Amino acid sequence: MSVSVTELADRTRRRQRREAFVTHACLVLGVLIFAFPIYLTIIGSTHDVNTIGRGDVPLVPGGEAVANYTQAWGVGGGRFMGVPAGVMLLNSIIMAICVAVGKIAISLTSAYAVVFFRFPLRMLFFWLIFITLMLPVEVRIIPTIQVMVDLNMTNSYQGLIIPLVASATATLLFRQFFLTIPDEYVEAAKIDGAGPIRFFLDVILPLSRTNIAALFVILFIYGWNQYLWPLLIVNDRSMETVVVGLTKMIGSGDSQNEWNVIMATAVLALLPPVAVVVLMQRWFVKGLTETEK
Amino acid sequence: MEKKVYFKGIALPYLLLLPQIVVTGLFFFWPAAQAVRQSFLREDAFGLSSQFVGFENFVDVLSDPTWLDSAFRTLIFSASVAVLALGVALFLAVQADKHIRGADTYKTLLIWPYAVAPAIAAVLWLFMFHPNIGIFGRMLNALGVPWDYKLNGNQAMLLIIFAAAWKQVSYNFIFFLAGLQSIPKSVLEAAAIDGARPMRRFWTVVFPLLSPTAFFLLVVNLVYAFFDTFGIIHSLTQGGPGKATETLIYRVYTDGVMNLNFGSSAAQSVILMILVIVLTMVQFRYVERKVHY
Amino acid sequence: MATLTLRDVKKSFGPTAVLHGVNLDVRDGEMIVIVGASGCGKSTLLRIVAGLETATSGGVIIDGQDVTPLEPADRDVAMVFQNYALYPHMSVFQNMAYGLKIRGMAREEIIRRVDEAAKLLGIGQLLERKPRQLSGGQRQRVAMGRAIVRNPKLFLFDEPLSNLDAKLRVQMRAEIRQLQRRLNVTSLFVTHDQVEAMTLGDRLVVMHAGHAAQIATPMEIWARPADTYVAGFIGSPSMNFLSATLMEGGAAARLDTNGLVLPFADGPRAGAAGRKLTLGIRPEHLQIGTGGLDIHVELVEPLGGESVLHGRLPDGTALTARLPGATYADGPMGVILPLESLHVFDGETGKRLDPRD
């Protein structure tokens, strides 16, 4: 060895300390990059319209929070005198919950049918569901709108929700999970005299609890974050979801706008999905990595 | 994998499958088939009749220099978003996976942006980079950089790339973290004993073992950049200035919904559908024979 | 090749102390087996030597150099892991060459060393395979090969045989021992298996609850266990323990169960009459006969040439005997305790009591 052990030890200690510091520094920087835009928005939502419009972007909270949020919640604002955020949030919550529950319900039943029964054309149906993975709404905009018009489903909650409840990913996840349920359970159920419906309610549903919870988080976010679909289907502004409504408030992004109200609305639009993800983090991470693999 | 034990019955499984099949049939397959049909038709000026034109729509689209520009732009945009989002996420995941104090807090603080809708992410970035009201937009102008993404196409492109990547990092982070945690600790320890320093360990052991995750994420990120970024572009730049940020998916929307050019829009849809199918197949082929484990 | 010294090594994970100060001197070329039940701290000790864990206090000295603050890379040790920890994306050759490549060794020298080690281990034909294409025994050999090519100062083995089936385990055990002798590398071998420990080690470290309960040669440990824990842990079936009381000025013990007086064959023990003792006797040392203990045999396990008898004393204490032959039946039986085979321990601390000089 060309260097003495004590020197090597010193160097090691210094390097370890430096590495720990660099790691923390990188992570703090990363956290800041993601937190800063939100911070700025929250700050903006506490100032009056002129402060922001002048461009004197402040970095500390102002005193207009109550006024801004009251206006955002009850009246709305922005370029085209938007819809009150209270209404839009309610629409978003209805849509997100219904889409999540609907997707989970029909995926559970179809996965159950495909795994626990034998019937003609079983695999064909499975593949049909699977293929929908490859047909995002973005690539079939016009004919889908046509179908919605024909079925008289535009401008309705049904139109907003029902076409989105088909889910290949959720069906695949439940199928995967059902396949890991030991055959003995089915045999035991048969011996105990339980039919397929009893078995579903008494065994499959309780066993699927964590998977359902995890999927709910992911699908709630999915439903909440929909953009193109509500944009196409809903013209009636009283049914607008908050994500679409927010961008409509901004319009083409002119400087003269009620930015304070817009920022308050943005904060309100962020709160529910972020809260769901943070509060259910454990389930959500597990569910996400398992659905996609 | 198939179950050996199953329930008897024919009517029940069909009943269980019915909702999923009806929804996919009505809102996925029918419109997709319509898109294919329309892509071979051309309507007259008044939209009263249409006639079969073979591959003419496809030829028109593929020989339209503006469409090709748009395709090239999409490629640049998607590649940039994927590289940026994957690179940052991998870097942060590696840091957060180390044994450091507060690792769990860092993880939570890096995971939550998953909940942010692409359109909302765009709005947050608008708040920062608006030339008049955004803190960074004003800063750039004050420093003598003429910043206005509403006038400068390259700046508009940069902005949507950053907004789109910013939103996708947390998703990639979650998967990279899961991938890192699935590498047996003893393999890394063996490398440490073999004399590999952290950097070397990362490039010769960790990274090769993460490559299946990285590839999976690459496909997911490309699909995201192609389709899910519609909300970002729509709320930030509307494809402008000029056509500087018009990606293929945005163009389908403009041609179909705004300009009512159904034949061309349908042909574009079909091309995109083929693209999604190819990407999905590649992904499943690769995931099926996942490498190392 | 090197010596290894552990100086009062202590380790705590948060509030839980897992090592309470371990001292050990390993001679050049010696094979030390660290044995103990799970959770005794044996693996932690090995990992501290490797540099994978940092001792809370104390020192690790390899070849006279204090390496305590150094990282694994700077210690020049090699380790064979319980799950082998082969690099899944590298071929067998690359697995073995990895450590040499990092040290910047010339390509020809790497090839020469890997070939030599592969020949030694009989895996020459596997060099192009990936780990997932190998059987458990082959993986084990590759893991050994990866350690051998490095020609390190120390070999560390972390329960390397526990994932193999019984037959292969016996075979690999012998091979490891031969290899270690032939290469003459100072080695630490961690295991929970006492047979592995007895057959492999020049000396054993019996770990118990974060302490080195005894450090000695296998035969010494078997013949003169330092306390009741070691006595019960080494040897199969386990040693029998009977409570007794010191009497006759330390020259004899009286069994609490039936008052039988047993004079010590090797000399008197220190202490006042009435001192509480624990007497130990190995099952294989019991003999059939009257005038000793009356037991009731409840189960006979014939092993072929000999039998293991599980019985009980009238007061319910269990007693196990290993006797030659296979002609035993359940029911009453008399056994005698040869005086020269008795182990004497303190009744309270469990420490061995040797004759006073």
Kindly state whether residue A2 falls inside one of the protein's structural domains. no
Range of the domain at A101: 85-291
Question: In angstroms, how far is CA C138 from the centroid of its own chain?
Answer: 25
- The reply to whether B45 falls in a domain is no
Rounded distance between C-alpha atoms, residue A111 and residue A237, angstroms: 37
Q: Is B205 in the C-facing interface, judged by CB distances under 8 Å?
A: yes
- Say if A107 is an interface residue toward chain B (CB within 8 Å): yes
Using H for helix, E for strand and C for coil, what is the string for C311-341?
A: EECCCCCEEEEEEECCCCCCEEEEEECCHHH
Element (H, E) at C271: none
> How confident is the model at residue A141, as a pLDDT?
76
CA distance C209 to chain B (A): 24
- Select from C164, A218, C152, A114 the least CA-distant residue to B13: A114
To the nearest whole Å, the CA of C93 is away from the closest chain B CA by: 14
Contact A40 B128 (CB under 8 A): yes
Cα distances from A289 to residues B90, B284, C223, in angstroms, run: 16, 15, 57
The DSSP-derived string for C36-90 is: --TTSSHHHHHHHHHTSS--SEEEEEETTEE-TTS-GGGTTEEEE-TT----TTS
Q: Does a cis peptide bond (omega within 30 degrees of 0) precede residue B65?
A: no
Residue C1 · residue C14 · CB < 8 Å: no
A16 domain-assigned: no
CB contact under 8 A, A166 and B280: no
Averaged confidence pLDDT in chain C? 90
Using CA atoms, how far residue B154 sits from B77, B161, B226, B245, C6, in Å, is 11, 10, 19, 9, 64
B24 inside domain: no
Token code pair at residue A226? 């929909």
Rounded CA-CA distance C139/C130 in Å is: 10
* Residue A45 domain flag: no
pLDDT band at A3 (very low <50, low <70, confident <90, very high): low
Distance from CA of A283 to the nearest CA of C (A): 28
Whether A1 shows a pLDDT value over 50: the answer reads no
Output A140 or A267, whichever has higher pLDDT: A267
B21 occurs within a structural domain:
no
Q: Do B19 and A110 touch (CB under 8 A)?
A: yes
What domains lie within chain C, and their CATH numbers?
4-226 (3.40.50.300), 237-346 (2.40.50.140)
Measured CA angle at B56 (ends B52, B62), to 5 deg: 150
* A245 within domain boundaries: yes
Q: What are the angstrom distances between the C-alpha of C205 and each of A7, C128, C315?
A: 33, 39, 35
Pairwise pLDDT comparison (C233 vs B142), residue with the higher score: C233
Q: Give the Cα separation of C331 and C54 in Å (integer).
A: 56
**pLDDT tens-digit map of C249-275:** 888 899 988 888 888 888 888 888 888
Average pLDDT over residues A160-176: 84
B216-235 confidence digits (pLDDT tens)? 888 888 888 888 888 888 88
**Amino acid A146: pLDDT:** 82
Please give the DSSP secondary-structure letter assigned to residue C238.
P
In the prediction, which pLDDT does B292 show?
39
- Supply the pTM of this predicted model: 0.83
> Is a pLDDT exceeding 90 seen at residue C189?
yes
What string of pLDDT tens digits covers the 293 residues of chain B?
A: 577 777 888 888 888 888 888 888 888 888 888 888 888 877 766 666 777 777 777 888 788 888 888 889 999 999 999 999 999 999 999 988 887 788 888 888 888 888 888 888 888 888 888 887 888 888 888 888 787 877 888 888 988 999 999 999 988 998 898 888 888 889 999 999 998 888 888 999 999 988 888 888 888 888 888 888 888 888 888 877 878 888 888 888 888 777 777 777 888 888 888 888 888 787 777 665 544 33
**B49 falls within a domain:** no
- Can you spell out the DSSP letters for A76-94? --TTTT---HHHHHHHHHH
Cα A210 vs. chain centroid, distance in angstroms? 18
Please check whether residue B232 lies inside any domain of the structure: yes
Residue B3 covered by a domain? no
- Contact between residue C343 and residue C231 where contact means Cβ atoms under 8 Å apart: yes
Q: Tell me how far apart the terminal alpha carbons of chain C are, to the nearest angstrom.
A: 40
In chain A, the number of structural domains is: 1
More confident call, B99 vs C290: C290
Q: Tell whether C287 is within 8 A of chain B (Cβ).
A: no
End-to-end CA distance of chain B: 19
Note whether residue A152 is domain-resident: yes
> Would A241 be classed as within a structural domain?
yes
CATH of residue B171's domain is 1.10.3720.10
Query: Mean pLDDT, to the nearest integer, of C163-172?
Result: 87
**Could you give the number of structural domains in chain B?**
1
pLDDT of residue B291: 42
For residue A121, give the CATH number of its domain: 1.10.3720.10
Question: Is residue A43 a part of any domain in this protein?
Answer: no
- Which of A1, A3, A4, A5 to mutate against chain C (most C CBs within 10 Å)? A5
Q: Which domain holds residue B200?
A: 62-288
Tell me, yes or no, whether B22 lies in a domain: no
Domain contains B5: no
B156 Cβ contact list (under 8 Å, min separation 6) = B149, B150, B236, B237, B240, B241, B244, B245
Contact C66 A9 (CB under 8 A): yes
Backbone torsions φ then ψ of A26, nearest 5 degrees: -60, -45
Farthest-apart Cα atoms in chain A, separation = 84
Q: Please compute the mean of the pLDDT values over residues A60-68 and round it to a whole number.
A: 75
pLDDT of residue A278: 85
